[in-house]
Amino acid sequence: MVYIYPAVFTPEEDGSYSVVFPDVPGAITQGETINEAITMAQDALCLVLYDKEINREKIHRPTPINAVKHKKNEFTTLIKCDTDFYRRYYANKSVKKTLSIPEWLNHEAMAQGLNFSAILQEGLKKHLKL
């Protein structure tokens, strides 16, 4: 899932930036530079939305950027995140699967020293076009 939400950036006295997402409670971050703040904002947004997805919580629609209120010294910009990419990148924990194959095929694969897990992963990725 790709999401785009408005984020409010607040310049701090030390030159850093604080970032909040009015529509995504809990998505709060900061960065020492504007580039770092944007990168951290993408990460914070993905983390919170990914958590909502896996917990099947409601994800509210984003407010139109021109309707987001901010103070005079602040600015609002849109931040994009891809929770599918985030999931593949961070949720790389292995899970055990039980499967059945014909005995003769098992003997042949064992005789050749094949790695069943690696072959299954390769096959699934190819089948899923990942």
For position 81, which CATH number holds? 3.30.160.250
Q: Tell me, what's the pLDDT at 91? A: 65
Domain check: are 70 and 125 in the same one? no
Successive 10-residue mean pLDDT values, the chain, 130 residues: 96 96 95 96 95 93 95 96 83 74 88 86 86
- The model carries a pTM of 0.69
Domain check: are 54 and 79 in the same one? yes
Give the angle 39-40-44 at the CA atoms, nearest 5°. 125
CB contact set of 17 (below 8 Å; sequence gap of 6+): 9, 10, 11, 30, 31, 33, 34, 37
Domain check: are 30 and 84 in the same one? yes
Question: What's the domain range around 6?
Answer: 2-90
Q: Tell me, what's the pLDDT at 62? A: 97
Domain check: are 9 and 50 in the same one? yes
Q: Tell me, what's the pLDDT at 118? A: 83
Each residue of 80-104: b (16+ CB within 10 Å) or e?
ebbbeebeeeeeeeeeeeeeeeeee
* Domain count within the chain: 2
Domain check: are 124 and 60 in the same one? no
Domain check: are 73 and 130 in the same one? no
Domain check: are 7 and 55 in the same one? yes
Q: Tell me, what's the pLDDT at 92? A: 66
